[in-house]
Structure 1
Amino acid sequence: MKYNEISHFSHLQHTLKFEYTEFPFKCDGCKEVGIGSRYRCATCDFDLHMHCALPSSSITHPFYTKCSFQFLSRPPGDTPRFCNACEKDVTGFVYHCKSCGFDLHPCCAKLPMMLDDGDVKLYLYRKVSAACHKCGRKGRSWSYRSTCKKYNLHVACVREMLMESWHDIYVGRGKGRRLETRIPSLKNTLHTHHKKSKGKVQKCCEIAGLAVQFIISALLGDPTTLIAGVIGSLMSRA
């Protein structure tokens, strides 16, 4: 087996090859959207996020110090479950804490505690008291907050922005439907709650827009500058 190939329990018939793509794909492990690094079987059109292809058998998380999350190939039990980070349904691979009942998508479980592009630093919080820059509400899901503490973005809200454009990413697959590859636009999605001069408000929104690019990159399983740049480029065309 080549160094860039792996065998995986979820796809035993073929090996999976590592590749890098600037186009979205649906991970056949966690059933969520991905972009960037992946392991793929081209013969079967089978894709896995890096986090799903090479999972840890168990993890801990700084937000849940008393929990031990075990990697499962499917959600436990028969009742619907949701991710405690992004609030989206869990339908595939998951990290689950048996004692507390908490669930995390593999990509959400590995969200960076800090995103930094050299100018803007965003820190991940379980809860923040300030309003989200997009929805204007407090609380809700995990949030990324700027160093200056002037704006916050719920992980759930950024996830919703992403899914607004990619809602039907693989619905009707094989029936001639076109794959939607447009990254969600920021137009009319971010609201400012600051009573400041127009220049400062505009700057705040620009920073928030940059933040969205990086958070989307992280949610898609590849929080790299390159992918953030690709997302930013596509967003500017929308």
Structure 2
Amino acid sequence: MKYDELNHFSHPQHKLRFEYSELPFKCDGCREVGIGSRFKCSLCDFDLHTHCAAATVGAIALRHPFYPKCRFYFFPSPPGDSPRYCNACGRNIAGFVYHCRTCGFDLHPCCAALPHVLNADGGLRLHLQRRASANCHRCGRKGRSWSYRSECKKYNLHVACVTEMLVESWHELYYGGGGGGGGGGKKVMVSGNRIPAIRGAGMSHHRSGKGKVKRCCELAAMAVQFVISAVLGDPTTVIAGVVSSFLFR
């Protein structure tokens, strides 16, 4: 088998090939949005995040430092009959999931793999936190979901807010103008060869001003691209640069 190909239980008909593209896609594993690195079946228009492609049934339990007592096991679909929600981003679980049988916690594969430290440009470092200890730069609230906070403690962004920005901006691409979200829906063709603008990425809960507030907003605008790329499952500098070119279009 070639290093850039794999056989996956979720798509036994054909091998999936690794590719890198700036076209957005919806992962057929977790049913969430993605961009950049993926494993794809071109014959069937089937896509998987790299994190979802690495997930296998019966694998060793995943451990996460935010939940030291939990053992997360991979499920190809949400267990049980009740709706389930990701404890990291707050989005509903519609496909691949890591689930703790004891505590009932759930994580999307990409959320489970979110980097605990993001190194942005200009020496800005963002740390992943389970509970927000400061108001979110976008929504102005504390509690919602996991969040990234800068070392200077002036900037905080919910993972849930990033996910909402992506869904609000791109749901027409996947559902032909219908409701967004992680559920079903028919894919539609995407025009162009780059990602669309991310609606609301330049928004801030803070009022514009001078001095420290202005600098805080500048750092936030720079940091949001790295958080977006991490949530999309491809936390690379290249993707961050692609995203940044569309933030304020």
Q: Same fold (TM over 0.5)?
A: yes
TM-score (norm 2): 0.88
Contact 2:31–2:94 (CA<8 Å) still a contact in 1? Answer: yes
Q: Partner amino acid for 1:99?
A: T
In the alignment, does 2:154 pair up with 1:142?
no
Deviation at 1:167, TM superposition (A): 2.2
In structure 1, C-alpha distance between the alignment counterparts of 2:221 and 2:167, rounded to whole Å: 17
Distance 1:217-1:176 versus aligned 2 partners, 3 A rule = closer
Aligned residues: 235
Which structure shows the bigger proportion of residues in strand conformation?
1
SS in 1 for 2:7: strand
Q: Partner amino acid for 1:40?
A: K
User: Where in structure 2 are the equivalents of 1:1-238 lying within 5 Å?
Assistant: 1-55=1-55, 57=59, 58-118=61-121, 119-172=123-176, 173=186, 181-186=195-200, 189-192=203-206, 198-236=210-248, 238=249
SS in 2 for 1:14: coil
SS in 2 for 1:217: helix
Q: Partner amino acid for 1:43?
A: L
SS in 2 for 1:11: coil
* Superposed CA offset, 1:47-96 (max 9, x none): 00000001262210000000000011000011111000000010000000
In structure 1, C-alpha distance between the alignment counterparts of 2:72 and 2:169, rounded to whole Å: 31
Deviation at 1:189, TM superposition (A): 2.0
Once the two structures are overlaid, the 10-residue window that deviates more, 13-22 or 53-62, is 53-62
CA-based RMSD of the aligned residues comes to: 2.0
Structure 2 gap segments, 5+ residues each: 177-185
Once the two structures are overlaid, the 10-residue window that deviates more, 168-177 or 140-149, is 168-177
In structure 2, C-alpha distance between the alignment counterparts of 1:204 and 1:174, rounded to whole Å: 38
Percentage of matched positions with identical amino acids: 60
Contact 1:81–1:89 (CA<8 Å) still a contact in 2? Answer: yes
Deviation at 1:202, TM superposition (A): 1.9
In structure 2, C-alpha distance between the alignment counterparts of 1:226 and 1:181, rounded to whole Å: 13
Contact 1:26–1:169 (CA<8 Å) still a contact in 2? Answer: no
SS in 1 for 2:165: helix
Structure 1 gap segments, 5+ residues each: none
Deviation at 1:175, TM superposition (A): 6.6
In structure 1, C-alpha distance between the alignment counterparts of 2:240 and 2:28, rounded to whole Å: 23
SS in 2 for 1:37: strand
SS in 1 for 2:214: helix
Distance 1:98-1:157 versus aligned 2 partners, 3 A rule = same
Contact 2:127–2:151 (CA<8 Å) still a contact in 1? Answer: yes
Q: Partner amino acid for 1:49?
A: H
SS in 2 for 1:71: strand
Match of 2:181 in 1: none
TM-score (norm 1): 0.92
Deviation at 1:193, TM superposition (A): 6.8
In structure 2, C-alpha distance between the alignment counterparts of 1:181 and 1:22, rounded to whole Å: 6
Q: Partner amino acid for 1:27?
A: C
In structure 1, C-alpha distance between the alignment counterparts of 2:189 and 2:38, rounded to whole Å: 24
Q: Partner amino acid for 1:164?
A: E
